[in-house]
Amino acid sequence: MDIQKALHLADDLAKKQPGCIGPHYTIFEKYDGWYGYFNFADCIIHTGQRRPLPSAILLCNKLVESVPSVEGRLIFEILVRDVPEFHVLNGILNRAEPAEGIYLMVHDFIPTLKLGDQWMSFSNRYKLAHEIVGRINLPQVELAKPIAFSQNYHEWQGIAQTVWDRGGEGIICKQTTAQYHAGKRNSTLIKLKKGLDVDLLCTNLEGGDSGKYTDTLGRLILVDSKGKEHRISGMSDAERNLWWHNPDLIVGKVVKCKAMEWLPDGSLREASYTCIRHDKSADQID
């Protein structure tokens, strides 16, 4: 099953008929971790790339001991205790060896499809997730708690501002009556973030043209889901030299960048490199 992708509120409001206007939404704080899921059939923690996560094997073993008799997929953010910076968390979760402090913030449950289950609303899926987390009963498995219920996107912007003011990432708005839209990006799942974090695919490298960057990497050539190219800088000197001489370490990888906003021509304002997204594949870019 493919991941349902969150749509930026601004992108939905830019449409002639925004889908977010009218329906009721359940509002959650956005956690900046790795998307993950646990299939009760195989009892393995997977990333969004559908691969097992070796760094989470210690937690996975605890889950196997506590797993209830359930058919379906538990969906969560994979986080690390006391590690708020994404680039640090990204490195820890990408390790081949077990890591301490990993925990799961559960926000959805997709039951194994039976007659009618494909139409199950988010509110009913969340009730199941709540029950399952309680039955697992591990401190490393938490349930994401709603922070508001609202059908007014102006209220969402105020809620998001409150989260930003205390240093949070933003909010996620889930349409309460909506089914799960695997592989889609639509108004049933809306996100509000300060500035932009965008995931782009690195397709090539561009050499530096002057000064200290002569004979090394100048810019990453990245493409978005619409095929538009972006030339991005912001890498460290060590990364520039490493990737210039070993392009396979970055070309073909999904890269996270920060930017102020999308401009009308589809380019990014003041974009810069953040890190490689080890948890994402080319079909999950923005």
Pairwise pLDDT comparison (129 vs 270), residue with the higher score:
129
Q: Is the pLDDT of residue 107 over 70?
A: yes
Closest CA to 164 of 198, 191, 194: 194
The amino acid that residue 129 corresponds to is: A
Q: Is the pLDDT of residue 205 over 80?
A: yes
Q: Is the pLDDT of residue 211 over 70?
A: no
Q: Are strands 5-8 and 185-193 parallel, antiparallel or unpaired?
A: parallel
Domain boundaries, the chain: 5-29+148-193, 34-143, 196-284
The amino acid that residue 138 corresponds to is: L
108-164: pLDDT as tens digits: 999 876 545 557 899 999 999 999 999 999 999 999 999 999 999 999 999 999 999
What residues contact residue 186 under an 8 Å CB cut-off, 6+ apart?
7, 19
B/e letters for 157-174, b = 16+ CB within 10 Å, e = fewer, are: eebbeebbeeebbbbbbb
Whole-angstrom distance, CA of residue 273 vs CA of residue 286: 15
The CATH number, out of the four listed (1.10.150.120, 2.40.50.140, 2.60.40.10, 3.30.2090.10), of the domain defined by the range 196-284:
2.40.50.140
Whole-angstrom distance, CA of residue 26 vs CA of residue 258: 27
285: left (phi over 0), alpha (psi -120 to 50) or beta: beta
For position 64, what pLDDT does the model report?
85
Confidence of residue 286 (pLDDT cuts 50, 70, 90): confident
**Fold that domain 5-29+148-193 belongs to in CATH:** Dna Ligase; domain 1 (3.30.1490)
Q: Is the pLDDT of residue 192 over 80?
A: yes
pTM: 0.80
For position 114, what pLDDT does the model report?
58
Confidence of residue 253 (pLDDT cuts 50, 70, 90): very high
CATH-assigned architecture of domain 34-143: 2-Layer Sandwich (3.30)
Closest CA to 152 of 6, 5, 13, 15: 13
